[in-house]
Amino acid sequence: MMPHSSQPHGLGVIWVTLVGALAFTLVPLPAWMATLWPAWMVLAVIYWTLALPERFGLVQAWLAGLLLDAVLGGVLGQHALAMTVVAWITQRLHLQIRPFPVWQQALVLLPLLGIYEFALYWLSGIMGLRDPVWAWPAMVTGVLLWPLTFSILRAIRQRFQIA
């Protein structure tokens, strides 16, 4: 059996899931549904940081956020900073969060998503770019969709034997 560290496809599969989360982020939606649409990229970053904290961490979270910034056309670094902060907290607490059942992990996600959204809100406000929007509905949807997100990403991780 090959050691896990020599599996070249592992990081590539992780990035494919992040690009998939980016695609979900870019789905055109009616205004009422857009307020409920969760931050898919940050959900994926939280999953991979929880599942593989030694292989997926701050650099990857920053790059994922930078990719999101570039695609959304906003201020370069805004999502990158917010995503890195959430990944740092997740990495620091992964040993406490990981043993929880998925529904309890979802409850822990609420403050993590709140920190992410607050960072975006704060950065938008201090840059005077637009009236910042607080995303409570999207945070709640993210929490409600965590069990599904977790199950899909875990199935991908198991299918490709990423450890």
Q: What is the CATH number of the domain that holds 40?
A: 1.10.1760
Residue 50 CB neighbour total at 10 angstroms: 23
Distance CA 140, CA 58 (A): 25
At residue 135, the pLDDT reads 82
Which residues in the chain come in under a pLDDT of 50?
Answer: 1-6
Domains held by the chain: number = 1
Structure tokens belonging to residue 50: 């929880």
At residue 133, the pLDDT reads 62
Structure tokens belonging to residue 87: 């990944």
Distance CA 57, CA 83 (A): 10
Boundaries of domain holding 13: 4-159
Using alpha carbons, list the distances in angstroms from residue 71 to 1, 65, 76, 77. 39, 10, 10, 12
At residue 122, the pLDDT reads 87
Terminal Cα-to-Cα distance of the chain (whole angstroms): 13
Q: Which residues lie below 8 Å from residue 109, measured CB to CB, with a gap of 6+? A: 43, 46, 142, 143, 146
> Which amino acid belongs to residue 121?
Y
Residue 141 CB neighbour total at 10 angstroms: 18
Distance CA 110, CA 133 (A): 17
DSSP assigned state of 56: S
Nearest residue to 14 (alpha-carbon basis) of 1, 30, 22, 91: 22
Q: What is the pLDDT of residues 20-55, one digit of tens each?
A: 999 999 999 998 899 999 999 999 999 999 999 999
At residue 8, the pLDDT reads 56
Q: What is the pLDDT of residues 131-142, one digit of tens each?
A: 656 689 999 999
